[in-house]
Amino acid sequence: MLPADRTLVLVRHGQSTDNAQNLFSGFRNPSLTERGVAEAKAAGRKLKELGFHFDIAFTSKLGRAQHTLALMLEQLDQGDLPVRTEDALNERDYGELSGLNKAEARSQWSPEQVHLWRKSYDAVPPGGESLAMTAARTIPFYEQALAVRVQQGQRVLVVAHGNSLRSIVMHLEKMSPEALMDFNITTSEILIYTFSDIGGVIGKISVVAPSAPV
């Protein structure tokens, strides 16, 4: 069975060099690791296996998401798909934490403080964004650019980042800030949402495509 119309597919980028070193990335621009490349290709193959053919794709201004999308589109045989890059989909800005190993950050501040900055909805790391601030750009973008297209019957692909996607998922699933603290998206995880003709979510599938060993 082919995927339904009115479908939104969210994918986190493949593993980056910062992910591999357990660094806060934020607006930094690390490249994909060999594993990340394999994950991105596997995600594209999985979507092709599921029968997807997209009408448009969106990604962030950051290279790791753009590279992931390009690798996925190769596997989907959709190299000519219209692609829009958007600041609104950029990762959460971690400010002074950016580039730090998470253990280094816990040593510099405290484990409790770093956990609060990472997981709470409202806490703002020095010079950075809270998740609430991230949502203040991603949710209007979702409503104005993504939801409109989905309701027109399009199949929309979004490749972005852990926190920018978490904030969109929070909106779609009506999660509380408390529930969101325990919700994570792994690298190259695929979240497939289908919608009714009046805009409500009527189905969700989460897929992590196995990638070849690297």
Positions marked catalytic:
13, 91
What is the distance of C-alpha 64 from the center of its chain? 11
Token pair 């253990």 in the structure block, residue: 103
Structure tokens given for 170: 């929070």
What is the distance of C-alpha 56 from the center of its chain? 16
Kind and range of the H or E element at 46? helix 34-49
Q: How far apart are CA 34 and CA 63, in angstroms?
A: 15
Sequence-distant (6+) residues with CB within 8 A of 75 are 41, 43, 44, 45, 47, 48
Instruction: Give the angle subtended at the CA of 144 by the CAs of 132 and 26, to the nearest 5°.
Output: 40
Taking the CB of residue 171, how many other CB atoms lie within 10 A of it?
15
